[in-house]
């Protein structure tokens, strides 16, 4: 659980860097290929923004959802453990 939150914290930053970096590099490359004055760079960087934002929001929502479901799971586990130990004690 803690690992997951930590990972999401790092991955959101990394995702932004990778998406923006790759789209910038791609835009520059296409501009060089077609000899245009930076129009591809502009389009790609502007295009990278919604993609990054989407990825970030999805990742953080996933984190929050996972946090809540893990808690529910854990509670279930704890309860069954308590029940089991109770049974063992009665057996002995």
Partner 1 sequence: MKKRYLIPIAVLLIIVFGSIVSITKPVRPYIQLPGEIYPGSQNWPIIGDIFGGLTNTFMSSLVAFLVVILMVILLKARSRTADEIPTGFYNFFEMIVEAAYNFAEGIAGPKVKNFFPWFMTFILFILVTNWMGLIPGWDSIGIWEYKPHFYAEKDAKALESDAAARGEEISHEELEAFIEERTEFHDTQNLGDLRIAQALLIRADANADPNAAIETDSAGHKVGFNPEAADWTIVPFFRPGATDLNYTLAFALVAMVMVQFYGFKYLGTRGYLSKFFPFIGKGWGKEVAKNPIKAIDPAVGILELISEISKIISFAFRLLGNIFAGMVLLFVMAFLLPVANVVFFGLEFFVGLIQALVFALLMLIFMVSATESHHGDEEHH
Q: Give the burial string for 34-52 (b: 16+ CB within 10 Å, else e).
A: eeeeeebbeebbeebeeeb
65 near partner 1, rule: CB under 8 A: no
Cβ-in-10-Å burial (0-12, 13-18, 19+) of 23 comes to buried
Which one among 33, 58, 71, 87 touches partner 1, defined by CB under 8 A? 71
Which one among 32, 65, 73, 81 touches partner 1, defined by CB under 8 A? 81
Which one among 39, 82, 83, 87 touches partner 1, defined by CB under 8 A? 82
Q: Which residues bind partner 1 (CB under 8 A)?
A: 1-2, 5-6, 8-10, 12-13, 16-17, 20, 24, 41-42, 45-46, 49, 52-53, 56-57, 60, 63-64, 67-68, 71, 78, 81-82, 85
């Amino acid at each position: 659980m803690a690992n997951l939150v930590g990972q999401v914290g790092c991955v959101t930053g990394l995702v932004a860097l990778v998406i923006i970096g790759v789209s910038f590099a791609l835009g520059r490359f296409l501009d060089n290929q077609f000899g245009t004055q930076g129009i591809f760079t502009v389009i790609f960087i502007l295009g990278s923004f919604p993609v990054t934002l989407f990825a970030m929001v999805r990742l953080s929502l996933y984190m929050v959802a996972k946090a809540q479901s893990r808690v529910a799971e854990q509670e279930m586990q704890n309860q069954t453990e308590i029940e089991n130990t109770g049974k063992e004690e009665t057996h002995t």
